[in-house]
Amino acid sequence: MQTPPRKVYLDNSATTRVDPEVVQIILPYFTELYGNASSTHQWGQRAKQAMEEARHQVAQFINATATEIVFTSGGTEADNLAIKGIAEAHAGKGKHIITSQFEHPAVLNSCKHLESLGWNVTYLPVYREGIVRPADIETAITDETVLISVMHVNNELGTIQPIKQIGDLVKARRAAGHKHLHLHTDAVQSVGKIPVDVRDLGVDLLSLSGHKIHAPKGVGALFVRRGVRLQAQSHGGHHERDRRAGTESVPLVVALGKACELERLHLQEFITRVGNLRDGLEAEIITRIPNVSRNGDTECRVPHISNFNFDHCEGEGLMIALDLKGIAVSTGSACASGSIEPSHVLTAIGLDHENGRGTLRFSLGKETTQEELDYLIETLPVVVEKLRRISPKAGVRH
């Protein structure tokens, strides 16, 4: 009998396995501690206490205060609340937004929605290295600009954006009288992977998501700096200090808080161990497989994401072939799965149609082992060579 394929999960940027400690701590909130946190009786107050503890855990992780944390259903809602909320609250001061060409769809589509309502949006280039240039932002700012939204880490390339420099630029503009200028960053791919300090970055709003840091899907948070005016996007009760209506999911909020606590305690270990694993993986790929190239800057990036282009291969074919061997990777963002076209991220960094379709993203996690990567390295060259032989460009030397 043939040995079944090993199971190697290298798509942690799409989602992560819920940490067993997180699972254990939230179970009572489904069965015993099930009160509504808005209720005044003891069941409700115990739920509220748990939720406020989680709010402190999230705040501590990013150096915020608890009152600056708004719980949401995830990163997408947090991005929508930040962008539309700032736009609606400050439309009287101007109707211009600055963002980048390779933001997450939650940001890009929020901006496109505002464009349909008469807003002017500037989409800045990110160049071959996949990094926004603060000088371009400074040039793009006008008196009408009310929001700059640039992601902290790109979800496909792993490149770290110069948010602190942008934050310094925003502070200087505000000091010069541009009081209505705000800075938002989508930090879904940076929280839990590198240090994130909202004070140091100088951001007014920051989005994060639970399922990227070993909490369940369906929960996230938006940091809103004290004093920032934000228009709620859902209407109902007075939940989350009137910033996000709807009964909070106490189990999911508790899970997010615990996940943030665990990630905070083990962050440096993650950075060192996973960064070393990633570097070793990349060295082996470059050594063993001809005609490959890394996408994005190789220095200014998070430790767990590696994006490669494999000449004369289809990324979708590579992904499927590896899946049949028990290895999970992706061709890009999970939010764009099913598309046969290169992602907007790869197009933004200048890859043409052919090369943009030959990419794979490997995203390691805290549970990734060297043994798993060894199996990938044994399997990947064989799969690439096989697909290249049957490629329509098989006649091209590779």
Q: Name the helix (H) or strand (E) containing 184.
A: strand 182-186
CA-based max dimension of the chain = 74
Residue type, 65: T
Give the tokens for residue 242. 């009137």
Positive or negative, the CA dihedral 393, 394, 396, 398 is positive
Query: By the 8 A CB rule, do 219 and 71 touch?
Result: yes
Long-range contacts of 48-56 (CB under 8 A, 24+ apart): 50/250, 50/253, 50/254, 51/248, 51/250, 51/253, 51/254, 53/254, 53/257, 54/253, 54/254, 54/256, 54/257, 54/258, 55/253, 55/257, 56/257
d(CA 103, CA 97): 13
Residue type, 118: G
> Is 335 designated active site?
yes
Q: Which of 111, 300, 313, 335 is catalytic?
A: 335
Which residues are tagged catalytic?
Answer: 335
